[in-house]
A and B are shown apart, each in its own frame.
Chain A
Amino acid sequence: MTGLVAVRCPADAILKTPVMLPWLYAGPVTDARIEVLIATADEDDAGVLRVALDPAAPDGVHVFERKNLGGDAPAWLVLASVVVPQIPAILTSIRELADRHRIGSVKVGDVEIVNPTPEQVERLLTEHAPEAPGG
């Protein structure tokens, strides 16, 4: 076959290239992870978050109850090491709960927001949005 020239392409360059089949992948091919920790005052909300995080957390989702000495007002802490491309989907779930004032705090990597508003989660979502192809 003419016109085809063999080229060598380093593996990291391939990984940095935007995917060619956007309908197949939600984001760049990467197995990088970020720790996500969400605090909520409601056990049911913690269950919802566990379900939302589970597909994105290869090592599982940990839900801890924080019990105070007085035994009242416990908090549920949902913790997982999440694959980076799934962060936007997770933040979308969090935004819905934040809209109903159900989130005590959210921490994504080093960024922590206490009593987050939907707008603050939206900004976090923008920061973690996948780059546009070719951008």
Chain B
Amino acid sequence: MHPRRRVDEALLRTLVEAQIGRHRSWGLYDRQQSTYLNLVLAHAERRAGRPVNVVWVEGGFPEIFTLQSGTISIPVFSTRYVEMSGMLRKILSVEYFDAALRREQIEFAILRLIGEMALRQGQADLAARSLTLSVLDRQHWIPDLGYNDYEMPPYDEGYAAHWYFAVLHEIGHSIPAPNTGLLADGFMRAAVEVEGLDPDRVPRSLRPDALRTEIVADMFAATMLLETTMLIMEDARGSFDPRVFMGECLLTAAVVELVERCRRFVREPVSDAVAVGTAGLRIREIFLRRQIIDDLRTLFGPQGPPEDVITGALIEVHNSYVAPALREIAPGVAAAMRMAQESEPSTATLLALLRAEATSPNAGIGQQWELRRLQDPLKLSPTRNLLLSELAEIAQTAAPWLEG
């Protein structure tokens, strides 16, 4: 890149703020701090062979993305993504809920996610309706924790997968994606065909070059996650369990799929668009699983278990851990998306019900907490209508003693 084309700080500021809004707090992540994120970034930097700078957004909207230009690649990491994906991980984890409760909780979580994403996209009506439904007439509450709560130990396979997979994926966009071997155009097209789609009539995201870029970023993330999880666990004196690692990776892929499905729903609530996006993520997951198996084989070495044993373990972990949870949440996800689109009862009616609930002497602490947590995203919204203003006013009635 020509030296005069280097992006200066002011231009970077314009670029980032246009993407995240004029947010109260963001900056390049301080690489001098002694944190596990810096350990991960330093390791990824060594492997990628280029410097890594991460934009750290405090709060904001639940999104992680990369700004890329030639050799410049800037991952943008929002702590709100950590919080929302943390909630989804809890709902999907087997130890927390029975099927009925899991279905109910995913419904509220998806409505919340859709609501915040709609705020980001300036879709005020959809945002007001989804956010109102996410806090209305609820009996059980999983607290929407701050990201600091997810910084607590144990520093294990789940911790690393939750915090670092997405950012490692974004860093993976800075490495070359060669059109060779399993990543060649022919394989990419075949994978699309297996999904029942015509590779000549698919959106750009399913064309070989675009698909390959994402797959390479996933593969890079999987390898880096394995290596850095082991580094972190060694530092924290934990003992690494390959089966737990597999489960956490698969869980992370499921969370990414859910978040992206919500984002596509907000952008284009048409089933075809959602289906195409889901096909892309399914193809990526096949390559991700392959990479996990290859990496574990390398880790175990020639004396370790053969490939079919590792593959069998991965399938078993998926079937016993992730697949049942995904089956159980499916009706809840569908219900949330349907409710977000319905016209009856009207959003004004729902807001009236919420006001009555929130201001009643019996208002629940869970609801008060969630309303309090709604105040920030509502302030960040680039657009406003009467419904959103009403919701913001109700959120302001939440008990002030919940602050901090």
Contact = CB atoms under 8 A, between A and B. Distances in A.
A122 interface: no
A35 B13 CA distance: 11
A20 interface: no
Given A59-B4, A72-B205, A72-B264, A66 B11 contact: no
Contacts of A107: 14, 18
Contacts, number: 96
A121 B204 CA distance: 29
A70 B205 CA distance: 9
Contact of B5 (A60, A66, A105, A114): A60
A37 B14 contact: yes
A64 B256 contact: no
A62 B11 contact: yes
Contact of A37 (B15, B64, B382): B15
Nearest to A60: B5
Nearest to B121: A114
Interface in B196-242: 203-205, 210-211, 213-214
Contact of B263 (A35, A66, A68, A112): A68
Contacts of A71: 205, 210-211, 213-214, 280-281, 284
A72 B211 CA distance: 9
A77 interface: yes
Interface string B263-278: 1100100000000110
Contacts of B367: none
Task: Choose among A35, A72, A79, A112 the residue with the greatest number of B CB atoms under 10 Å from its CB.
Answer: A72
B278 to A, nearest CB: 9
Interface in B59-89: 63-69, 72
Contact of A64 (B68, B170, B280, B382): B68
B173 interface: yes
A72 B277 contact: yes
Contacts of A35: 10-11, 14
Nearest to B267: A73
A107 B22 CA distance: 13
Interface in A49-76: 59-60, 62-74
B7 interface: yes
A86 interface: no
B18 A112 contact: yes
B65 A69 contact: yes
Interface string A36-55: 01010000000000000000
Contacts of B2: 60
Contact of A70 (B7, B8, B280): B280
Given A63-B69, A69-B169, A81 B11 contact: yes
Given A60-B5, A77-B18, A114-B382, A69 B260 contact: yes
Nearest to B15: A79
Interface of A: 35, 37, 39, 59-60, 62-74, 77, 79, 81, 105, 107, 112, 114
Which 9 A-B pairs give the minimum distances between C-beta atoms? A70-B260, A72-B205, A71-B214, A60-B5, A64-B69, A64-B67, A67-B66, A65-B68, A35-B14
